[in-house]
Amino acid sequence: MKRLLIIGATSAIAGACARRWLQIGEPGQTRLFLVARDEAKLEQVAADLRVRGATVDIFVLEATDYGRHAVMAEAAIGTLGQVDIALIAHGSLPDQVACEADAQLAAREFEVNATTVIALLDRLAQVFKAQRRGCLAVITSVAGDRGRPSNYVYGSAKAAVQAFCEGLRARLFRTGVHVIDIRPGFVATPMTAGLPLPAPLVAQPEAVAHRIVAALDRGGPDVLYVPAFWGLIMRVIRSIPGALFKRLRL
């Protein structure tokens, strides 16, 4: 039996991952504990997965309600018994220009994309440390690899989570727990709908999910770029000298 905890379960990538796990798993051998803030959408996702053969439980959580993080973790353990894989996939894509004009908005977006994720990682780290096994994964973004003027509020939040993951990975390594930082590039989701993205670089959620699920099931690597070519693209972008980088329109 594979026991999965998915936070942000109504997101396109998380939903595609859940369906992929069911597709490759043995019938009746996948149990899911799904967490999201929108109860109606969460029920819809759960119903679809049950039709596909999964045993599914749900938990409604607003990520900024930090007091309920522990309640959620306890409910997941009480339901699943243990967690084989936890995937944190919630977040928002802020309007950079609006954030530049409103410091409170920028702070709220940073909280949603960084502070809440870090708090959940810290809470789940306690669960996995007690188990001494399992995979704790979080979806960050290639945007966190370097602060670009077009989305540095979002990128800085993702960078904070990436740095946290690196430290948490080292902390949990000797306990047998693996922490994976998943960095997607452009993905065709409702969050990116309407953005002027370069079509050849935009991946479908299902293709992204195939790569994520394969990586999580085998417990590696530490950092996963999806699609894989983003690893090369970001290596080039990281190598650009700062004196030149600040002059680019990225």
**End-to-end CA separation in angstroms for the chain:** 45
Going by C-alpha positions, the residue among 131, 113, 156 that lies closest to residue 5 is: 131
3 state DSSP class of 97:
helix
Query: One-letter amino acid identity for 27?
Result: P
**What tokens appear for 136 in the block?**
């704790």
**What tokens appear for 52 in the block?**
């596909």
User: Using only C-alpha atoms, what is the Rg of the chain?
Assistant: 18
**What tokens appear for 93 in the block?**
């894509």
Q: What is the DSSP string of 161-194?
A: HHHHHHHHHHHHGGGT-EEEEEEE--B-STTTTT
Catalytic residue IDs: 154
Ramachandran category for residue 79: left, alpha or beta (phi over 0 → left; psi -120 to 50 → alpha) = alpha
CA torsion through residues 69, 73, 79, 80, sign? positive
